[in-house]
């Protein structure tokens, strides 16, 4: 569901943004080009897909971030501009040039993101029209924020917006993010784009480190279908308008906590909005030797088609969950493993626990979110992971995606 204007976070100081409909998407009058403009030079950091096959936009952004001269981000949806060779690279460079020109900046001060169908050339005349239209209505109000977020979306059912306002050093610091994603979602990262804006002042190094930490806990802990995409990009832009000096020490730690919360909120929205999904699955894995091992187990369970379909059918089939954990490539003592679903203990210390299957099934069926907790006896490390279930609607939608 879309956020109402009354619940929207503020646009941080120093930013204006807008979305425009250029005709890239088949549905008319739907935003498919977004501009995010920094009034002055801003710090920019990025985290990107690890897929060897990636968009030219990803390669161009990697070369530029982190840096402290960002003025504009241009985004198009409906076309990923991936696997399009030299022409695709030139089109990305032209998008950078056009976006920079629209706000009086240089091309090396622009970043670009594209998402949508792979292997199709960008309709550059439409892109030019969209950039011009977006530049003409840049603003920092609720309407502009929603329109810009809508320009990110492809198969999303709704715009994804989150924010936090915190007090640091007696000043109010705003962090606001927009994201997109609903399918082809798997770490590291997914078919998702996100831009997080803040009016805090950060050094490029601090921004990069903060974004890496937040991404590890959020966008790299979600899955819809286990398929890594080619375009995934998360950007952090810091205008510095609310703080005279770069954040450090306890102030930076407070900022990190708020940034983590914003990214986690946005990340959860993605599998909750998974293509055809009927459930958001939250997996908590604890009692492992390291966070990495806990994450590995959680992801293995989350991406099991048998686990996903069990949740779709509200079937508390615990055997699928424990067996998926056992094939994660992590060594553990099965006799120290316990499992609960929605607060019902159904497997403890390596043995089944008597439970009312109908009661657990009803708890899955009646709630959009299903909580799976797996605990082990190997250590004290834990991880949290989010996933969507697997429905007939997902199969039908993705079998007809380009036709």
| Those residues with Cβ within 8 angstroms of residue 274's Cβ, 6 or more apart along the chain or in another chain | 182, 183, 185, 224, 225, 280, 387, 388, 389, 394
pLDDT the model gives residue 402 = 58
Tokens of residue 190, six digits: 């997914």
Last residue of a domain, one of 240, 272, 304: 272
Q: Which residue has the higher pLDDT, 353 or 275?
A: 353
Instruction: Looking at 103-233, list the stretches that DSSP marks H as alpha helix, in order from N- to C-terminal side.
Output: 124-135, 142-150, 204-217
pLDDT the model gives residue 231 = 57
400 band by pLDDT with thresholds 50, 70 and 90: low
When the pLDDT of each residue in the chain is averaged and rounded to a whole number, the result is 90
> 24 and 131 share a domain?
yes
Last residue of a domain, one of 252, 272, 292: 272
Average pLDDT of the segment spanning 306-326: 95
> 154 and 248 share a domain?
yes
| Those residues with Cβ within 8 angstroms of residue 220's Cβ, 6 or more apart along the chain or in another chain | 187, 188, 189
> 284 and 315 share a domain?
yes
- At residue 33, does pLDDT exceed 50? yes
> 226 and 116 share a domain?
yes
| DSSP β-bridge partners for residue 110 | 72
Query: The domain containing residue 206 runs over which residues?
Result: 5-272
The answer to whether residue 191 is catalytic is: yes
H-helix or E-strand spanning residue 283:
strand 280-288
Cβ 22 vs Cβ 34: under 8 Å: no
183 band by pLDDT with thresholds 50, 70 and 90: low
223 band by pLDDT with thresholds 50, 70 and 90: confident
| DSSP β-bridge partners for residue 45 | 236
Report the distance separating Cα 204 and Cα 187, nearest Å: 24
> 209 and 286 share a domain?
no
Report the distance separating Cα 301 and Cα 362, nearest Å: 21
Q: Which residue has the higher pLDDT, 189 or 27?
A: 27
> 165 and 313 share a domain?
no
Average pLDDT of the segment spanning 176-187: 72
pLDDT the model gives residue 59 = 85
The Cβ of residue 328 has, within 10 Å, a number of other Cβ atoms equal to: 19
> 53 and 190 share a domain?
yes
pLDDT the model gives residue 190 = 40
> 223 and 340 share a domain?
no
Q: What is the pLDDT of residues 133-160, one digit of tens each?
A: 999 999 999 999 999 999 998 878 889 9
Residue of 256, 197, 188 whose CA lies nearest to 228: 188
pLDDT the model gives residue 189 = 39
> 263 and 317 share a domain?
no
Q: What is the pLDDT of residues 380-394, one digit of tens each?
A: 999 999 998 888 887
Cβ 66 vs Cβ 111: under 8 Å: no
The Cβ of residue 26 has, within 10 Å, a number of other Cβ atoms equal to: 7
228 band by pLDDT with thresholds 50, 70 and 90: low
Report the distance separating Cα 23 and Cα 203, nearest Å: 38
Average pLDDT of the segment spanning 84-110: 94
pLDDT the model gives residue 5 = 39
pLDDT the model gives residue 154 = 83
Average pLDDT of the segment spanning 199-211: 97
DSSP conformation letters of 207-273: HHHHHHHHHHHTGGGEESSS---S--EEEEEE--TT-SS---HHHHHHHHHHHHHHHHHHHHHHHHT
> 138 and 228 share a domain?
yes
CATH of the domain at 141: 3.60.70.12
Cβ 232 vs Cβ 75: under 8 Å: no
pLDDT the model gives residue 3 = 37
pLDDT the model gives residue 118 = 84
Cβ 303 vs Cβ 392: under 8 Å: no
CATH of the domain at 392: 3.10.20.340
Q: Which residue has the higher pLDDT, 162 or 394?
A: 162
Tokens of residue 123, six digits: 């309709």
Average pLDDT of the segment spanning 111-124: 90
pLDDT the model gives residue 403 = 54
pTM: 0.86
Sign of the dihedral defined by the CA atoms of residues 360, 365, 367, 369, in that order? positive
Q: Considering the chain, what percentage of its residues have pLDDT values greater than 90?
A: 72
Select which of 65, 153, 191, 233 is catalytic.
191
Tokens of residue 206, six digits: 């601090």
Report the distance separating Cα 162 and Cα 12, nearest Å: 12
> 172 and 71 share a domain?
yes
Least confident of 158-167, 314-323, 342-351, 394-403: 394-403
Q: Which long-range contacts (CB under 8 A, 24 or more apart) does 250-253 make?
A: 251/168, 251/169, 252/202, 252/206, 252/210
Residue of 47, 51, 392 whose CA lies nearest to 227: 51
Q: Which residue has the higher pLDDT, 88 or 28?
A: 88
- At residue 226, does pLDDT exceed 60? no
> 65 and 178 share a domain?
yes
Average pLDDT of the segment spanning 249-268: 96
2 band by pLDDT with thresholds 50, 70 and 90: very low
Number of structural domains the chain divides into: 2
């Amino acid at each position: 569901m879309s956020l109402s204007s009354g619940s929207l976070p503020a646009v941080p100081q120093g930013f204006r943004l807008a979305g425009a409909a250029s005709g890239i998407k088949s549905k008319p009058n739907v935003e498919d080009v977004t501009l995010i403009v920094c009034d002055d030079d801003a710090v920019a950091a990025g985290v990107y897909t690890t897929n060897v096959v990636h968009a030219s936009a990803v390669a161009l952004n990697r070369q530029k971030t982190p840096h402290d001269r960002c003025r504009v981000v241009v985004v198009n949806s409906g076309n990923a501009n991936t696997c399009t060779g030299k022409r695709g690279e030139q089109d990305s460079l032209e998008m950078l040039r056009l976006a920079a020109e629209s706000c009086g900046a240089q091309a090396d001060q622009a970043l670009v993101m594209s998402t949508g169908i792979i292997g199709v050339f960008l309709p550059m005349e439409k892109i030019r029209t969209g950039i011009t239209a977006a530049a003409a209505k840049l603003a920092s109000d609720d309407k502009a924020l929603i329109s810009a977020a809508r320009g990110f979306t492809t198969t999303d059912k709704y715009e994804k917006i989150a924010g936090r306002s915190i007090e640091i050093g007696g000043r109010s610091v705003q962090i606001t993010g927009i994201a997109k994603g609903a399918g082809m979602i798997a770490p590291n990262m997914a078919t998702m784009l996100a831009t997080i804006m803040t009016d805090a002042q950060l050094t490029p190094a601090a921004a990069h480190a903060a974004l890496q930490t937040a991404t590890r806990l959020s966008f790299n802990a979600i899955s819809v279908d286990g398929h890594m995409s080619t375009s995934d990009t998360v950007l952090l832009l810091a205008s510095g308008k609310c703080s005279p000096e770069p954040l450090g020490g306890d102030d930076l730690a407070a900022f990190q906590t708020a940034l983590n919360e914003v990214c986690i909120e946005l990340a959860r929205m993605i599998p909750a909005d998974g293509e055809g999904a009927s459930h958001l699955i939250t997996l908590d894995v604890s009692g492992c030797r390291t966070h990495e091992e806990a994450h590995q187990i959680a992801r293995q369970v989350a991406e099991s088609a048998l686990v996903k379909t069990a949740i779709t059918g509200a079937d508390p089939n615990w055997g699928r969950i424990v067996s998926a954990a056992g094939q994660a490539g992590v060594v553990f003592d099965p006799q120290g493993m316990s499992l609960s679903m929605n607060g019902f203990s159904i497997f403890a210390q390596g043995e089944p626990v008597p439970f009312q299957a109908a009661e657990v099934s009803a708890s899955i069926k009646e709630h959009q979110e299903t909580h799976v907790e797996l605990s082990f006896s190997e250590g004290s490390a834990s991880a949290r992971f989010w996933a969507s279930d697997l429905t007939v609607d997902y199969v039908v939608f993705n079998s007809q995606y380009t036709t």
